[in-house]
Amino acid sequence: MSFSTMRVIRTLPRVRRSTASPATSVLSRVARCPTTTKTAVRPFHTTLAARKSPSTELVEPERKDVSSNENPTPQEKPRAEHAVISAFDLFSIGVGPSSSHTVGPMRAGKIFVEDLKELGILKDVHKLKIGLYGSLAATGKGHMTPQAVVLGLEGEDPETIEPSTIQSRYASILQTHHLTLAGEHSVVYDQDKDMLWRNEPLPTHPNGMRFSVYAKTGDLLAVNEYFSVGGGFVVNDQTKIDENLYYRAVKKKSASSARREQTHGLETDSKTQALPAPGQESSAEEDGPRPTGPKQPPFLFRNGTELLAMTKRHNLTIAQLVWENERSAMTSEEISEGLMKLWRTMDASIAQGVSSTELKLPGGLGVRRRAPGLYRRLFKGFYPSISPSEPSQPALPPAAPSSTLTMASGFNSEPPPEAITRLPSGSIRRTPLVIGSFEHELAPIPFKKAVFPGIDFLSCYAIAVNETNASGGRVVTSPTLGAAGVIPAVGKYIVEFISDDPEGDIKTFLLTAAAVGMLYKRGATISAAEGGCMAEVGVASSMAAAGFTACMGGSPQQILQAAEIGIEHSLGLTCDPHEGLVQVPCIERNSIGAVKAVAAAQLALASDGRHSVSLDEAIEAMRVTARDMHTHYKETSMSGLATSVRIPLSSPAC
């Protein structure tokens, strides 16, 4: 039985909340479907009235519309007992353009139909309703939320779906008015009537979804609500349990509820010891990793202060602490291969972006792709190994086997020349036009080309990833897809220009960045619908700064200082995408975020690790800023650049 329990309805009267113990969840059904009980999972119940007509929307409590000038007071979410989650939940492979509006909704749809199958009512479904609320309704069309939801309901997963098939399959669903739930049961689906767009948010989170299914008689069979909370994480209303584990080797049935709820390691019995309070010193007997069970991470931290103390107490780097936590559920070989798989996907998204032959990004803005041109300029004067005149040559080399990692620098000695992407550069040099009179006493300055190779490569890599993301390609949540270019860009720069041990540095880079990301997920947010762009590019820049500092040999104090600098100068950053598309200002902002990450790391490396503002204080400031920020600047496209800029279709990228 899934732990995202839905209310199953067989009769018409209003369903009352169950009074069952919090340790159980109850599903109400009629005579031929007796009440089913399961343990060790918190319940999820909805108080919704069943209706005879599937076209009638369910009764809802009164809520404020996000379009109102009055900023609704956000609901404070409870914090997890500690920050530790799996790095493979924080970094996950998906399809663009948004982790909260594309990856999360696709996962929610898949979870819902899997629950229907498990409850044995999938075959009884004749029709369904999809409700999108808050930010999902405001910007969902530009983020491909409808495509993600319906394909998730068809049983697709964001990690394995073929991106090139998404649009054609979606068009077929709209044309035929049929949806194949879980890939095996066809139902009637008319999107104009069955997908409901509601700008008012549900109370739990701005990114809300409600799925309802109906029998042929029109009776409501089952309903559930899901919330996409950023980074591809999906929770339901009552349990607040992240669903990402379902998409890994750990199945929902067997996954430890303590790990899902971030309470693992906090039991006070003969085998485990409670996490000491902040500032409380542990005894000598407590200094080693706690002798916990096989699914209990040994190093549990709630904030940066505790993380820093653990590195000193156990003489481990931040990356080593995260590695040891991952070993509680995975082997060392699985961790290594998982990290390399993430990096291969990141690297491939860069290669796809710089080698694209398309001139413009999809959508109505007419934004031109810039990564290919930037890449050509960077390699101007190099002998190309791949000629554009060879039509049989693929734009990208074949995917590397899972046991190896193929990159331009290569982890397996030198790569063959054909494995390196080299785009041709123009041979005609034009004299730039100079505006101004040379007769004036203050002469105009002719155009100069300032060369900053590091900045240029970082910008090119970040823009390449985000152009891949904007076109619906496969990318990695880092920690979100709106900020997917920052961490790959900095990692690629390390591998290509700094590293003596690329594979080891990539592992250190990703694990260190993940540790910092965990702190933000617990202490503030990684959702733009809650905290604007500081929750996306701001957090990604902070994570990348920490990872870069670690790969440069920085101390744990310097790593956290770099992370703090990365977020301190992103506080208040708004999320106001034009037309709801993850293009303007998102693509350029990733470029700036990558450069800012390296600048923050360099500042931290030039110091002794002592600084005026701690990372914990900066995260708390971010949480408060996110709480006070108006909804118009939280991924709703209702103000800022979204309403101030008018971009004609023929305009170049901004």
What CATH number is attached to the domain comprising 101?
Answer: 3.30.1330.90
pLDDT in tens, 557-594: 999 999 999 999 999 999 999 888 899 999 999 999 99
pTM for the model stands at 0.75
Verify that 14 and 122 share a domain, yes or no.
yes
In a domain, 281, yes or no: no
Verify that 235 and 378 share a domain, yes or no.
no
Q: What are phi and psi of 77, to 5 degrees?
A: -90, 140
Pairing of β 178-181 and β 195-198: unpaired
16 is written with which tokens?
């009352």
In a domain, 74, yes or no: no
Verify that 245 and 342 share a domain, yes or no.
no
Verify that 414 and 524 share a domain, yes or no.
yes
Helix (H, G, I), strand (E, B) or coil at 145: helix
Domain region containing 466? 333-426+450-644
Give the residue from 199, 216, 250 where a domain finishes.
250
Verify that 239 and 100 share a domain, yes or no.
yes
Verify that 354 and 223 share a domain, yes or no.
no
81 is written with which tokens?
């007992």
Q: Report CA dihedral (241, 206, 247, 6) to the nearest 10 degrees.
A: 60
**How far, in Å, CA of 89 to CA of 465, rounded?**
20
Give the residue from 199, 230, 250 where a domain finishes.
250
Verify that 213 and 344 share a domain, yes or no.
no
In a domain, 608, yes or no: yes
Verify that 403 and 543 share a domain, yes or no.
yes
Q: Are residues 392 and 418 in contact, defined by beta-carbon separation less than 8 angstroms?
A: no
Element (H, E) at 223: strand 220-230
Give the residue from 197, 231, 250 where a domain finishes.
250
Furthest C-alpha separation in the chain: 95
Q: What is the mean pLDDT of residues 456-483?
A: 96
When comparing pLDDT for 623 and 649, which is higher? 623
What is the percentage of the chain residues whose pLDDT exceeds 90?
59
Helix (H, G, I), strand (E, B) or coil at 337: helix
In a domain, 308, yes or no: no
Which one-letter amino acid corresponds to residue 441?
A: E
In a domain, 297, yes or no: no
pLDDT in tens, 248-270: 333 444 444 444 444 444 443 33
Query: Does pLDDT of 291 surpass 80?
Result: no
In a domain, 220, yes or no: yes
Verify that 536 and 630 share a domain, yes or no.
yes
pLDDT at 451: 79
pLDDT at 447: 82
pLDDT in tens, 135-188: 999 999 988 999 999 999 999 999 999 999 999 999 999 999 999 999 999 999
Q: What are phi and psi of 33, to 5 degrees?
A: -125, 80
Number of domains in the chain: 2
Pairing of β 195-198 and β 127-134: parallel
In a domain, 159, yes or no: yes
